Chain A
Amino acid sequence: MVRNLLIAALVVAVVGTGYWGYREHQEKNAILIHAENNYQRAFHDLAYQIDLLHDKLGATLAMNSHASLSPALAEVWKIASEAHSDVGQLPLSLLPFNKTQEFLSKIGEFSYRTAVRDLEKEPLTEEEHKTLEALYKSAGAIRQELRNVQHLVLENNLRWMDVELALATNDEKGDNIIIDGLKAVEKNVDTFSSSSEFGPSFIGLANEEKGFVRAKGRPISKDEAKRIAREFLGLKGTEKIKVTDSGNGADERFYSLTIHDPKTKGDIYMDVTKNGGYPIWALNSRPIGKPKISLHEAANRGMAFLRRHQFTGFELYDSTQYDNVAVLTFVKSENGVRIYPEAIQMKVALDNGHVVGFTARDYLSSSIPRPLPKPTLTVEAAKKKLNPHLKVMEERQAVIMNDLQKPVLCYEFLGTLGDETYQLFINAATGLEEKVEKLESVEPNYR
């Protein structure tokens, strides 16, 4: 009797476990298929977009009327941006696929710039035509490769999940068709990019590396770096300081300092350039207590700190209170002209008014030529270029970097339109509206 009962219980248990396992398996498969489908969509969509990109670029080559060229270039921009987003959704971060993404991003930038330009007044140059032709050719090559990979994927029922697995486990077998195919695409783009088809005039991608042009002087030693840190941060001398060299990948040589004070909680970190020993940035991680001084007082202390360390001619541009710290932005100002690229950010603790953060990266890497040009337009003429509904509240001269990453002298206007505040920059030589920004720094809390 007992035996029979036991057998029955065991049978129920085995059947139950089996059923449970089956369900788990089903669910896991469903999720895998779901993820796989997402990858497949991104990939096939990418192939389609590149196809379209190639066609559209081909069409722009044949166009002669400016009226049809502008919208066509705008469409190229849109397609390139969608293809770029598709690449971002594929599991490729472990595979070198940067060049392809960079290529798409460059096409986007090129087509955007030419599309928004008034081609009636400023038609495509000979060089730009050549760039378009080159883009067309290389889009064709990428398309060919991608279509090939796509065919193999469909023919052999290849799954992206396997690619992901192969990449993650660093499978060296090297017979993964998708990986090989994409490597071929990448190689294709690489030969294109290195031949600099975009021409020398095509600059200004966001990652343009400039280096610290201001950091001149003889190389300093580690001990000198320590001394600079002590002086700059106002240390007592009892702290332990660890100095390390920057790696080979750094654009400019610098020392990284970690300053440990046994008495306080939290370390101070700082980078100093090797040439000349300029502080690049510093950050104090100590806990900050309840605010005791005002934002205004903090701004004054920040300014005093700058003066004490020979940063002269700066004025406060922006100040923001985050709980118990003030974040301040100072910009260089010469004869009333604000030079926005030469900015220094600081953090001041509101519990005791001490500087807890400093970064001069922008200032050190900015190379605005001096003397500054004189405006050829009058303020009144510049004002006429503004939207007539805008109520101008403040005006001054300022230097900014424009869309092409060139420094330009502008008239800056702060004005209101309805409830919003705007910052507008009108080129002081050409009257071009270089930049318009809506200023908004307050967001209601969500409940």
Chain B
Amino acid sequence: MARKWVLFIALAVWTCIYPSGHAFAFSPQVIQRGAVGDDVIELQARLQYLGFYNGKIDGVFGWRTYWALRNFQYEYGLPVDGLAGSETKRKLVNASKYYEQFVKEQIRQGNDFTHYGGIPLSQQVKKRGGGSSRAAKTTASNVPKGFSQNDIRLMANAVYGEARGEPYIGQVAVAAVILNRLEHPSFPDTVAGVIFQPGAFTAVADGQIWLTPNETAKKAVLDAINGWDPTGGAIYYFNPATATSAWIWSRPQIKRIGNHIFCK
């Protein structure tokens, strides 16, 4: 830890002596694939300045950023590991400029822009209507493999409509049941197909699915998609206090979470 701080101070002092675009550069963190935030925006902008990165500067460290970084490390004689550590960042800051104000302003306005070296910045902006007062944050998101942000939102709607009164784990469980059904031969194989199957979910039948879901429901969906299945492979669940169908009671029960019994 102490060594890291020494490096950081050295880096900070060094960037003050050689101002390169902006006085600040990178926080002391090691940036790796999957990261999001300001450091990634700077990393992408600097890699683009040198012509290694041709993708969008969106603040999410994806595969394109990864290969760009590795190419940079190769060209500059660094160990090729795809991690932006202190040495890599030092060489990168040394070799490139980062017009932070420009970049942040474009992101805030929602413009399409690039950050190549040797071309006047004013020629690298394509205005897009609408976007005016947005936060200068990342313009993309990490999504689990095979799911889009809209799939996650649709599932969060279903989870919120079905189980908003349940403990957190009960919400993850409902999301897990939807996912288990996707895999199961007896059910439709799309998220929308499973959710809107007639009679499958009471929240769909009575319209509660169209309530606006909260952050908890979204988090629960994300946990389920990322591999957490509290139900042990259940494909049905019911509330024993309100269930009317005799058939559902005949299913082999796995466990009870909150007010729901989960079964096969």
Contact = CB atoms under 8 A, between A and B. Distances in A.
Interface of A: 39, 84-85, 88-96, 98-99, 101-102, 105-106, 164, 167-170, 205-207, 209, 244, 246-251, 254, 256, 258, 266-267, 269, 271, 281, 283, 285, 291, 293-297, 299, 318-322, 326-327, 345, 347, 357, 359, 361-362, 393, 416, 419-421, 439-447
Contacts of A295: 31-32, 34-35
B131 interface: yes
Nearest to A345: B227
The 3 closest A-B pairs by CB, nearest first: A249-B252, A294-B29, A105-B185
B205 to A, nearest CB: 9
A94 B244 CA distance: 10
- Is the contact region of chain B dominated by helix, strand, or loop, or is it mixed? loop
A98 B252 contact: no
Contacts of B138: 445
A249 B248 CA distance: 13
B169 interface: yes
Given A281-B228, A283-B172, A321 B186 contact: no
Interface string B46-67: 0000000011101010111011
B36 interface: yes
Interface residues of B, number: 74
A296 B30 contact: yes
A286 to B, nearest CB: 10
Contacts of A85: 188, 193
B16 interface: no
Interface stretch (B90-98, B115-123, B141-149, B157-165): B141-149
The CB with the most chain B CB atoms within 10 A, among A249, A361, A442, is that of A442
A91 B201 CA distance: 11
A416 to B, nearest CB: 6
Nearest to B40: A321
A266 B167 CA distance: 9
B60 A207 contact: no
B213 interface: no
Given A269-B230, A441-B62, 20 more contacts: A85-B188, A88-B197, A94-B199, A105-B185, A247-B252, A247-B253, A247-B261, A249-B254, A249-B263, A254-B232, A256-B255, A295-B32, A299-B32, A322-B142, A322-B222, A326-B34, A357-B228, A359-B228, A444-B56, A444-B140
A248 B248 CA distance: 15
